[in-house]
Amino acid sequence: MAKQTSLRNRLRTSRRAFIGLLASSALLLTPLGASAEVEEDTLRIGYQKYGTLILLKARGTLEPQLAEQGFDVKWIEFPAGPQLLEGLNVGSVDFGTTGETPPIFAQAAGADLVYVANESPAPKGEAILVKADSPIQSVADLKGKRVALNKGSNVHYLLVRALEEANLSIRDIKPVYIKPGDARTAFDRGDVDAWVIWDPYQADAEIAGARSLRDGEGLVDNHQIYLASRPFAERYPGIVNEVIDSLAELDAWAKDHPREVVDILHKETGISKESLRLAVDRYAYGATRITPRIGAAQQTIADVFYELNLIPREINIDSVLWQSPASVARNAQ
């Protein structure tokens, strides 16, 4: 309890910096909470350049399964979680995956989403990086430095926790809010002193010579969370369940076939196989339906953000934990 209190007290010092960030975030500038359109007999999936969804897309096993039920599948790529959730909010996406932090901001701003499943934790799959020859040797050395990160993404929470561990706050650094692709260019040119990023971008930079100051081990869980628009989940619960089952089956296959996973990801992303082997080794496959345990972990993050005025209102994570009809029936037995 003392440790948690200390964290909250230190985070409180960063309130103004984070409020400025969130005020400029696209998630909060775009009106949320409007009823999203559900496209008839079509599942629109938002994905990123990593994880099980891109494997599912590449293997093409979901399309014939859903075609038997008269459903089409459309795939839409996003650079990161906040942008994907913006797509879900405006009605262009029905299903997707992000890290832990983006759905908290989205829910607080009124997005009509539900948590449906999650992957196992992968805390080493995100880190604070510096160049190999950088004089920066620890997180404490980031004081006054330029640190690049994506707005509203999982690495925000990692950075806050790592700075707190080093007796610093966001006010002690110079955040540079930039998307992963542009951040890599800025990092390589030396326009920023450090970069907070996730796999496979993290692994690719490390293979190129970047050095990790601090990963998430012991600080954050780094779960990947699968989300759906509430209107879609309520209208087509069987489709959501089928996608979750497909993800679980694919994860079981991926655990035993890392070489094939690397080959697929290389073809889909263009990232080197050497980098992908490192990233795949850190990924924790194991898609399962959402549980109250994950909800409790998310509630902890949400409560801290609310106490710091980083989100505009208190939120109840339990209210967005989806229970499929089959789950409800099992619990009633």
The per-residue pLDDT for range 287-311, each reduced to its tens digit, is: 999 999 999 999 988 987 787 677 8
Please compute the mean of the pLDDT values over residues 20-44 and round it to a whole number: 56
Determine the pLDDT at residue 27: 42
pLDDT at position 20 over 50: no
The count of other CB atoms within 10 Å of the CB of residue 183 is: 22
The number of domains in the chain is: 2
236 and 94 part of one domain: yes
Q: What domain range is 190 assigned to?
A: 123-215
pLDDT at position 143 over 50: yes
Q: What is the pTM of this model?
A: 0.84
142 and 205 part of one domain: yes
229 and 309 part of one domain: yes
Determine the pLDDT at residue 36: 55
Q: Is residue 70 part of a domain?
A: yes
136 and 266 part of one domain: no
152 and 190 part of one domain: yes
77 and 195 part of one domain: no
98 and 233 part of one domain: yes
% of the chain beyond a pLDDT of 90:
71
Domain boundary among 189, 215, 241: 215
162 and 291 part of one domain: no
65 and 209 part of one domain: no
How sure is the predictor about 23, in pLDDT bands with cuts at 50, 70 and 90? very low
Q: What is the number of alpha carbons within 13 Å of residue 58 lying toward its C-beta?
A: 20
Please compute the mean of the pLDDT values over residues 121-143 and round it to a whole number: 97
pLDDT at position 137 over 50: yes
112 and 253 part of one domain: yes
Determine the pLDDT at residue 236: 96
180 and 262 part of one domain: no
CATH of the domain at 324: 3.40.190.10
- Alpha helix stretches (DSSP H) within the chain: 2-12, 15-23, 26-29, 52-59, 62-67, 81-90, 101-108, 154-165, 180-189, 201-207, 230-235, 237-256, 258-269, 273-282, 292-307, 325-332
Query: Model confidence over 83-111: pLDDT tens digits?
Result: 899 999 899 999 999 999 899 989 998 99
